Structure 1
Amino acid sequence: MAENTDVAVIGGGYAGVMAANRLTQRDEVTVTLINPRRTFVERLRLHQLVGGSHDAVVDYREILADGVRLVVDTVTRIDAAERSVMLATGGTVGYDHLVYAVGSGSADPRVPGAAEFAYPIATLEAAQRLRPVVDAAPATAAVTVVGAGPTGIETAAELAELGRTVTLVCGEVLGPYLHPRGRRSVAKRLAELGVTVLEGPDAKVTAVTGDAVQLGDGRDLPSKVTIWTAGFGVPDLAARSGLSTDALGRLLTDETLTSVDDVRIVAAGDSAAPSDLPLRMSCQAAGPLGAHAADTVLSRIAGEQPAPINLGFAGQCISLGRRAGIFQFAHKNDIAKGFYLGGRPGAKLKEFVCERTVKQLADEARKPGSHTWAKDDKRQQLLQAKRGEAPATAERAA
């Protein structure tokens, strides 16, 4: 009889659930998923939660394999030497292998007044705090959304479609990922919704107060509700636990997603930095990274050499209210193409992506090992070109 192996997964988001489900391929593997919430958060829908069109949560019973043990708690420290994690409630969970999938949240805005007066939206709790604030504001109150990535665009469009007076402060440019053609389409739709879009070097927030936003050119924008969507940050759990991280705090790994410090720790999703060249933070990357992290662990259990990550992108999908959207197609290396799908078809495709992303987790729970993804064979070339050498590895604990 094969010896039992305990695998702990920290984080129950897209990457963590995918990894936990995929690990159940082997009967002798016991999987424990540790997450601070009792429900799965559909992060793709948090702007809908704020707008009141979706609650953005899914019961874990719908997407988590029966064999996975769910522990509702927060990990406060990883003890790699003892192969255990400490929980906020005072207990510990031991492991033979660990999957680090803590995800990401809002970045520290580092703008005077932003932490005090602006509302983040990157987590379920933040979106839940924001919704009653928006509901309580007068219908004519000025709403300012800071940050013109997908979350900022979606939030601005969602609220404008409800009749809110919205200004979107972009910083440099609207939708930095988008091809100029796609960007023009998004700008047109936002204009139709009545969103005021501020771009350019002067369209950067320098201060936030309780009733205004100050820009780099000295302008003060009246703002009853200020929503901060600019940037992502990751939990500092890895750094606090003495593990090597990149400048943002993501766990440094090799190309198999294995920590450069410890062969028994692998990372997945937004909190992974393979070869210090991380993939774009997105659910599009999280699912495959979670699956690959599980494959790496299963390979090590079987005494086999894990494969390097190979992931190709399809593009970026953005909702523009409930009746329009855009799918910006991209090359597999995640560079936008000139082709996009907009309008009502774009909205339907975005909704399909949201539904399909959750369904993929449920499918993996029912049939572990079934999830597949697009490949991009040019990553090794990119690594060598960027670093001038083959991906570095470090001596790791056995």
Structure 2
Amino acid sequence: MTGNTDVVVIGGGYAGVMAANRLTQRDDVTVTLINPRPTFVERIRLQQLVGGSDDAVVDYPDVLGEAVRLVVDSVIGIDAAGRSVTLATGATVGYDYLIYAVGSGSADPGVPGAAEFAYPIASLEEAQRLRPVVDAAPTTALVTVVGAGPTGIETAAELAEKGRTVTLVCGEVLGPYLHLKGRRSVAKRLAKLGVTVLEGPDAQVTAVTRDAVQLSGGRELRSTVTIWTAGFGVPDLAARSGLSTDALGRLLTDETLTSVDDMRITAAGDSAAPSDLPFRMSCQAATRIGAHAADTVLARIAVEQPRPINLGFFGQCISLGRRAGIFQFASKDDTANRFYLGGRPGAKLKEFVCKHTLKHLADEARKPGSLTWVKDDERRESLRAKRGEAPATAERAA
């Protein structure tokens, strides 16, 4: 391709910012980042916003390259045939290539009363809406947190450390990702903070009212403030624009992160479903997937064959208030193992990860193309298994 190339990135989260910064490696590429907010959201600190220890926002100049044009608006439609996006203000922006990095948010709870009486915290606006509610509630008010993933655990710990009376309703198990040893460590810390943890078949929420939570076992919990952290969804922009998505609404791509419908559209972060086998939603994955999406676009501009994504994991870190945390180590295929770092060292490592994630973005802004990541060659075998193909070892033996 000759002349200038226009690349539009939809979404200014971890994946979108990383992709936009990395694209500036070429002087003949014009990068436009479209995001509905004028500031970057540290989503991994939203529970701190609710607890009052952080505002969870960063100015874009701190993480976004100077060469990237920031447009504060919302994309309401993608015209793949016309290579343009329509904004909420009515304007259109044309592109040669598009990176779809709209992220994820709260899912429809599908539980009677949850949408009316429970507070989600998957977005900045949701967390900001909840903060004054928590502040206005008496110290003795009963707080129920629904959901036993990292967000639920972190929110419960954050509020309990502030002296709140918190019940964490887990459903089947506390911290499903965690190894049994790590799970026990988290349970011990929550107990020390005074959090009541409910798990098992009788701990499914069946209804939420203004002042109570109903459980599948027939129990009713009194609840002044109910916080909903169970499950995430993705925006329906791709589906509304006629692009192929998975059941959750993530853009379907091949292993290079290219849309199965259009080679000029790639996906990154939580809203990408490569080979209908998406990675775990996390900032750890989002930055690396964002970088690879940019690499795919740059390869196409250079008339080269894009490489399939090869992404390995380290584990999962969870804060347990400001004075404790856990880093659950994992194999490269994102399977938790028996090793973990807990207590005060776990808290310090979690804070290091939070700060270092921003540093990765800032470093990429200053030196685009610098981010590297751990590989996982086992993904190819996962894809073979999904497709019902023979394993590579059997092919070699033949």
TM band (smaller chain): over 0.9
The amino acid that maps onto 1:201 is P
Q: Secondary structure at the match of 1:170?
A: strand
CA separation in 1, counterparts of 2:62 and 2:147?
A: 33
CA separation in 1, counterparts of 2:340 and 2:98?
A: 39
Q: Secondary structure at the match of 1:294?
A: helix
Partner of 2:41: 41
Alignment of 1:188-203 (within 5 A): 188-203=188-203
CA separation in 1, counterparts of 2:201 and 2:332?
A: 30
CA separation in 1, counterparts of 2:124 and 2:337?
A: 32
Alignment of 1:179-190 (within 5 A): 179-190=179-190
CA separation in 2, counterparts of 1:114 and 1:12?
A: 29
1:63 is displaced (CA, Å) by 0.7
Partner of 2:217: 217
Deviation string, structure 1 residues 255-301 (Cα, Å, up to 9, x no partner)? 00000000000000000000000000000100000000000000000
Q: CA RMSD in A?
A: 0.8
TM-score of the aligned structures, taking structure 1 as reference length: 0.97
CA separation in 2, counterparts of 1:174 and 1:371?
A: 33
1:27 is displaced (CA, Å) by 0.1
Partner of 1:352: 352
Deviation string, structure 1 residues 99-152 (Cα, Å, up to 9, x no partner)? 000000011100000000000000000000000000000100000000000000
Q: Secondary structure at the match of 2:351?
A: helix
CA separation in 1, counterparts of 2:146 and 2:269?
A: 25
CA separation in 2, counterparts of 1:248 and 1:187?
A: 31
Q: Secondary structure at the match of 2:337?
A: strand
Q: Secondary structure at the match of 1:76?
A: strand
CA separation in 2, counterparts of 1:201 and 1:384?
A: 34
Partner of 2:322: 322
Deviation string, structure 1 residues 43-77 (Cα, Å, up to 9, x no partner)? 00000000000000000011100000000000000
Deviation string, structure 1 residues 292-316 (Cα, Å, up to 9, x no partner)? 0000000000000000000000000
Alignment of 1:288-307 (within 5 A): 288-307=288-307
Partner of 2:114: 114
Deviation string, structure 1 residues 2-57 (Cα, Å, up to 9, x no partner)? 40000000000000000000000000000000000000000000000000000000
1:389 is displaced (CA, Å) by 4.0
Partner of 1:374: 374
Partner of 2:254: 254
CA separation in 2, counterparts of 1:79 and 1:389?
A: 36
CA separation in 1, counterparts of 2:379 and 2:162?
A: 43
1:388 is displaced (CA, Å) by 1.2
Partner of 2:93: 93
Matched, 1:3 2:30: no
The amino acid that maps onto 1:106 is S
Partner of 1:238: 238
CA separation in 2, counterparts of 1:300 and 1:362?
A: 25
CA separation in 2, counterparts of 1:30 and 1:15?
A: 18
CA separation in 1, counterparts of 2:94 and 2:72?
A: 15
Deviation string, structure 1 residues 173-192 (Cα, Å, up to 9, x no partner)? 00000000000000000000
Partner of 1:157: 157
Matched, 1:148 2:148: yes
The amino acid that maps onto 2:162 is L
CA separation in 1, counterparts of 2:281 and 2:63?
A: 22
Q: Secondary structure at the match of 2:130?
A: helix
Partner of 2:128: 128
CA separation in 1, counterparts of 2:126 and 2:93?
A: 28
Partner of 1:331: 331
Q: Secondary structure at the match of 2:58?
A: strand
Compare 270-279 and 377-386 and name the one that shifted more. Answer: 377-386
CA separation in 1, counterparts of 2:150 and 2:374?
A: 22
Deviation string, structure 1 residues 216-267 (Cα, Å, up to 9, x no partner)? 0111100000000000000000000000000000000000000000000000
1:386 is displaced (CA, Å) by 1.8
Deviation string, structure 1 residues 336-356 (Cα, Å, up to 9, x no partner)? 010000000000000000000
CA separation in 1, counterparts of 2:260 and 2:75?
A: 21
**Number of equivalent positions:** 390
Matched, 1:266 2:266: yes
Partner of 2:394: none
Q: Secondary structure at the match of 2:176?
A: coil
The amino acid that maps onto 2:249 is G
Q: Secondary structure at the match of 2:338?
A: strand
Alignment of 1:277-296 (within 5 A): 277-296=277-296
CA separation in 2, counterparts of 1:127 and 1:388?
A: 43
CA separation in 1, counterparts of 2:93 and 2:357?
A: 29
